[in-house]
Amino acid sequence: METLHALLIHPYPGQMNEAPRELGWVIERLPALPELLGARFFRSQGEAHTYLILTTWDPEAGRKMDQDDTLEPEEGAQGLPRPDQLYRLALPGPIEGETEEWFLRYVWGYSRSGMEARHALVLVVSRSAGQENQMRQRWIGGLRALAAEVPIGQVFLARSIPQGAKETEPMFLCYLGCPSEEASKAVREHPLYDEIGNWLSRFAQVRAFDFAPLFPDYRAPG
């Protein structure tokens, strides 16, 4: 099963222009990571930008990397770090601000053939007090109904991976990909979208983000 790494960056006001430059440096080095299946880079709408980077990794390569601290470096280059260290160590300079990151597994997903999903509405849900299985079933049911009525190219629900023997409280990331800003607005204004958010807010902390593409999506060759 694929591993999803999500990195959410909230730069300080003076760093708004630095973040795209630092992330652009990372993009040039993505082909050097054979374990990487794909990457998406987003910037939130509005003046106070938040950046979201979603990367999907091959699980077999991930298990291999558990045995080695780094990949074999090219001649004259430093070894590339493990996926959970990539964006911390590979940047030429730190992005000053607050950073959140999660490692997740895909729970459910849906895609519509022929429709792009470059713009995204993202829900980050944590501190849930309800029964997880029941919550997931109702949540997925709501997403199915929403996808049938609005222009969504892709939607998925992912859950945080437990770290260690004791499970910490789960965190969920819900991605609703749309072909355009207008389509995102149509989804955001649909009653079912509000219904899902209001229902989740009854027993969990819900943060909603409206993202536009920052760079073209990266897909591993082959």
Task: Tell me the pLDDT of the chain (222 aa) as tens digits.
Answer: 688 989 898 988 877 677 888 888 888 888 888 888 899 999 998 777 899 999 888 866 545 555 544 444 444 444 444 444 443 334 556 678 888 989 899 999 999 988 888 999 999 999 887 788 899 999 999 999 999 999 999 999 999 988 766 666 889 999 999 999 999 999 999 999 999 999 999 999 999 999 999 999 999 887
Phi/psi-derived region of residue 46, left when phi > 0, alpha when psi is between -120 and 50, beta in every other case: left
Phi/psi-derived region of residue 207, left when phi > 0, alpha when psi is between -120 and 50, beta in every other case: beta
The CA radius of gyration of the chain, in Å to the nearest whole number, is 18
Rounded-to-integer distance, Cα 131 and Cα 166, Å: 18
Query: How crowded is the C-beta side of 63, counted as CA atoms within 13 Å?
Result: 4
Residue-level pLDDT at 82 = 47
Chain segment 106-115, per-residue pLDDT in tens? 999 999 988 8
Predicted TM-score (pTM) of this structure? 0.84
In the chain, where the domains are located? 3-219
Strands 51-57 and 97-111: unpaired
CATH code at 3-219: 3.30.70.100
Residue-level pLDDT at 32 = 83
What crossing angle do the helices spanning 132-147 and 191-201 adopt, rounded to 10°?
A: 170
CA angle at 184 for the pair 171 and 123, rounded to the nearest 5°? 10
Residue-level pLDDT at 70 = 43
Rounded-to-integer distance, Cα 92 and Cα 73, Å: 17
Residue-level pLDDT at 91 = 52
Residue 177: both structure tokens together: 């990909």
The DSSP line for 4-67 is EEEEEEEE-GGGTTHHHHHHHHHHTTGGG-TTEEEEEEEEESSSS--EEEEEEE-HHHHHHHTT
Residue 158: both structure tokens together: 């992912």
27: closest CA among 82, 87, 94, 76? 87
Phi/psi-derived region of residue 76, left when phi > 0, alpha when psi is between -120 and 50, beta in every other case: left
Rounded-to-integer distance, Cα 1 and Cα 105, Å: 7
- CA dihedral 205→208→213→219, nearest 10 degrees, is 40
| Tokens 């964006």 -> residue | 87
Residue-level pLDDT at 35 = 81
